[in-house]
Amino acid sequence: MQEALQKFKETLDHAKTIAIRTGATKDISKILSSYVLHSVFLELGKNSSVDCGQIDDSAKNFLSQLFGAEQKNFENLEHTIIKKDTEKIPISELKYEKDGTILKIILNSNANFDHQKIIIEKEKIAVDLLLLLDPEETQVNSVLQNTPHKEVVKITSKDKSISVKTFEIVTLLNKDLVGKFKEALWLLLKNEDEFSKNTLLVKKEILDQNPDIAKIIKANNILKPKNFWRLLGRALQRSEIESELGVLWTFLTLDDFSKTNQDKSAVTHIVDEIKKLRTPENFLAVLWQNSKESVQAVIGGETSKIKKLAFQMGFALSSSYFFTEEFNSFSEAEIKIRSEIKKVIQ
């Protein structure tokens, strides 16, 4: 792992422009990791841009509390391209000259031609480094095509969480920056396994920097306001462990969302909180109503098993969980998921 980190540092040292991309995601750990790295790159004098797709208002306010509302996000520069079909428009000479402040590009031809057949368009300049931060496999090609780049590095959660890898990168690049972004790093790592010796050491390192507890609480309350905890309470009331399969089932109805003034963006936070309170042996499945005729699920669990289940069901794994397709009812969703889980644990 240290060898891979060192190689990444060498690549980064030679990069002046960096684009951080996660693909469209609601995973706050990926979003926060992206903005931590973006902020670190800016501190190191890089021209960095970050894009996590459409971020909801609570996540935007959360990020503003941690990084400030006016954080830079460098736009990808563009070339202006002039194109022409040389068969239809044969050019004998191309030159340019200045007329005061006006620059003229002159195309000479042996015959008159229709200037409207000349195409002028914009083309993004390739960034030195494209950093793919654990995007879903279904989104990788789109991100690569939409972000011209010279080199690409992909950071995944296959062997270690994105949160821990982000901390390791910050520490490697400049240990002093751990102190500058200590509140963001604490929030990033607070959901990690509290019984892991490595996690405890990392948290101690952040605590040694004396993070602003009031700032952490304020940011956390933006992301998880009072109504979120009411929704969590409702979720816990309809949670049960199926011991035979080692599955913790949780169900949320339309009424749960409407009566707590929350929406489905809270679901991944529900997953995080339930995992901390009642860790199942194998899987955690949170099922919720999108509408009266539609139910969806997010399934998390033990690393090797959740990867196998996601692959078996044909869905892209997003960190330690994945979202399913829509079902017609809770019972249909539960029967389908249970059937697939049985195949994995047999």
Query: Could you tell me if 143 and 185 lie in one domain?
Result: yes
Query: Could you tell me if 275 and 206 lie in one domain?
Result: no
- What is the tens place of the pLDDT at every residue in 200-233? 888 888 999 999 999 999 999 998 999 999 999 9
Integer Cα distance of 310 and 330 in angstroms: 19
Q: How many CA atoms lie within 13 A of 201 on its CB side?
A: 5
Q: What is the pLDDT of residue 273?
A: 87
142-167 mean pLDDT? 89
Query: Could you tell me if 111 and 257 lie in one domain?
Result: no
Query: Could you tell me if 93 and 197 lie in one domain?
Result: no
Please count the other Cβ atoms lying within 10 Å of the Cβ belonging to residue 93. 8
Which among 139, 119, 131, 126 is positioned nearest to 53, based on CA atoms?
A: 139
Integer Cα distance of 204 and 314 in angstroms: 40
Please count the other Cβ atoms lying within 10 Å of the Cβ belonging to residue 152. 17
Any idea what the CATH number is for the domain that residue 320 is in? 3.10.310.30
Q: In terms of residues, how long is the chain?
A: 346
Query: Could you tell me if 112 and 56 lie in one domain?
Result: no
Q: What is the DSSP letter of 62?
A: H
Q: What is the DSSP letter of 268?
A: H
Query: Could you tell me if 93 and 189 lie in one domain?
Result: no
**β-strand pairing of 47-51 with 78-83:** unpaired
Which of 200, 221, 242 terminates a domain? The answer is 221
Query: Could you tell me if 257 and 236 lie in one domain?
Result: yes
- What is the tens place of the pLDDT at every residue in 277-330? 876 678 999 999 988 899 999 998 877 788 889 888 888 766 678 889 899 999
Which of 188, 221, 254 terminates a domain? The answer is 221
Query: Could you tell me if 178 and 240 lie in one domain?
Result: no
Count of the separate structural domains present in the chain: 3
Structural domain boundaries enclosing 94: 78-124
Please count the other Cβ atoms lying within 10 Å of the Cβ belonging to residue 226. 9
Please count the other Cβ atoms lying within 10 Å of the Cβ belonging to residue 154. 11
Integer Cα distance of 153 and 286 in angstroms: 32
Pick the range with the lowest mean pLDDT from 32-41, 44-53, 236-245, 276-285. 276-285
Mark out the alpha helices in 47-175 (DSSP H runs).
57-67, 137-146, 162-173
Query: Could you tell me if 260 and 162 lie in one domain?
Result: no
Phi-psi region of 338 (alpha: psi -120 to 50; beta: other; left: phi over 0): alpha
Place of tokens 């296959």: 158
In degrees and rounded to multiples of 5, residue 301 shows phi and psi of: 165, -170
Query: Could you tell me if 138 and 210 lie in one domain?
Result: yes
Q: What is the pLDDT of residue 318?
A: 62
Query: Could you tell me if 281 and 250 lie in one domain?
Result: yes
DSSP secondary structure of 264-276: GGGHHHHHHHHHH
With contact defined as beta carbons under 8 Å apart, do 321 and 296 qualify? no
What pTM, to 2 d.p., does this model score?
A: 0.80
